[in-house]
Amino acid sequence: MPTSKFYGKTDSTNKLFVYEGHMMLYMDTDSMSCKSCSIVCLAIKAGTAGVLGAYAVYSSFYSVAPGCRAIVFSRLDGIKEKVYPEGTHMVIPWLERPIIYDIRSRPQLVESTSGSHDLQMINIGLRVLFRPKVEELPRIYRHLGTDYDEKVLPSIIHETLKAVISQYNASQLLTQRENVSREIRKILTERASNLFMEVDDVSITSLNFGKEFTDSIEAKQIAQQDAERSKFVVEKAEQEKQAAIIRAQGEAKSARLIGQSVSDNQAFIALRHIEASKETAETLATTKNKVYISTDNLLIDLKSLNIKPTPSISF
C-alpha cells in the first residue's frame, strides 16, 4: 500500500509523495511476480531432473532373453571381450550400449547350380543348420556385424557345393547321396569354424538334373524294362519247353506202361471198356433228351471180351 496520501492540494510536495506512493506500490507488485516465476522455474527444473533421472535409471539396465547372449560396446574402450548370459545387466547410459545375439540354431536354405564330373548341370538345394560360437561373439561383431550369416554363409555354401559336386558323376549323386551330404557337411563345418560359426546339420533338400539327362535316364529305364520283359518271355518259353518235354516223357512212359499192362493182362482192356461205358451212361443220364441206344453200343462190344455175367437173384 502507498505510504503517502493526496489531500486535494496541488502543491508539488504532496504530489511528489503521491507519485512516490504509486511508485512504491508498483515496485512491490514486481517483486511478487519475480517470486512466482522463480517457483515455476524451480518446479520445471525439478521435473526435468526427475525425468532425466528416471531415463538414466531405465537406460542403465537391459535384459538378455533365453537363447541369447549379449556383448557391450563402450565409447571409451570399444567392444568388451566379456559375453553376458541370460538375465538383467547394467550399463553406463550413453557411454555403453548392449548388442544382443541369438545363439540358437537357425536354418539357412541355399540353392545352387553346379556342374558334375561328367559335365551335367545339377540344381541342388541345401539346408544348413548353424549357430554362432558364443565365445567368439565380440570378434563376430568386430569383423562381420550382426548380419554375419547373410554375409558369410551363402558364399561358403556355394563354393562348397561346387567343389563337392564336381567330384561325382550325375548318376553317382543319386546312388551315393548320403556320402555326398556327409562330405559337404565335413567341408562346410571346417569353413564355418574359421568364421566363428558352428554347423549342426546339413541336408540335401532337392536334386534336379538337366532335361537331357532326365530324358536319358527315362530312356535307360525303358530299355531296362524291355530287357527284363524279354528275359521273362525267354524264361517263360524255356519253362514251357521243359514242361512239354516232361509232359511228353510222362505220356510216353504212360503209353509204355499201358502197353505192358495189356500184354501181360487182358483184363486191363475190359476195365477200360467198363470205365468208358460208365462215363457214357452218366453223360446220357444227365441229358434232357431221350436217347435210345443198344446195350452193345453202350458197353462198346463188351460181349466180345467173353465176360460171364453174374447170375441174377430172384425173390
For residue range 171-215, list pLDDT tens digits in order: 899 889 999 999 999 999 999 999 999 999 999 999 998 787 777
pLDDT at 101: 96
Average pLDDT for the chain? 79
Residues β-bridged to residue 209: 122
Which residue, 134, 79, 61, is CA-closest to 102?
134
CA 23 to mean position of chain CA atoms: 92
Q: How far apart are CA 278 and CA 271, in angstroms?
A: 11
| pLDDT reading at 293 higher than 50 | yes
pLDDT band, residue 143 (cuts 50/70/90): very high
Beta-carbon count within 10 A of 274 CB: 15
pLDDT of the residue at 303: 54
More confident site: 3 or 182: 182
Average pLDDT value for residue range 147-156 = 92
Residue type, 100: I
DSSP letter for each residue of the chain: --S----S---HHHHHHHHHHHHHHHHHHHHHHHHHHHHHHHHHHHHHHHHHHHHHHHHTEEEE-TTEEEEEEETTTEE-S--B-SEEEE--TTTEEEEEEE-S-EEEEEEEEEE-TTS-EEEEEEEEEEEE-GGGHHHHHHHT-TTHHHHHHHHHHHHHHHHHHTTS-HHHHHHTHHHHHHHHHHHHHHHHHTTTEEEEEEEEEEEEE-HHHHHHHHHHHHHHHHHHHHHHHHHHHHHHHHHHHHHHHHHHHHHHHHHHHHHH-THHHHHHHHHHHHHHHHHHHH-SS-----HHHHTTSGGGGTPPPPPP---
Higher pLDDT, 314 or 83: 83
pLDDT: which is higher, 189 or 51 = 189
Count of beta carbons in the 10 Å neighbourhood of residue 279: 10
Task: Please report which confidence band the pLDDT of residue 15 belongs to, taking 50, 70 and 90 as the band edges.
Answer: very low
Higher pLDDT, 283 or 147: 147
State the pLDDT at residue 31: 55
70 and 99 in contact (C-beta within 8 Å)?
yes
Q: How far apart are the first and last CA of the chain?
A: 176
Between 207 and 33, residue with greater pLDDT: 207
- In angstroms, the CA 113 to CA 89 distance is 47
Lowest mean pLDDT among 51-60, 146-155, 157-166, 268-277: 268-277
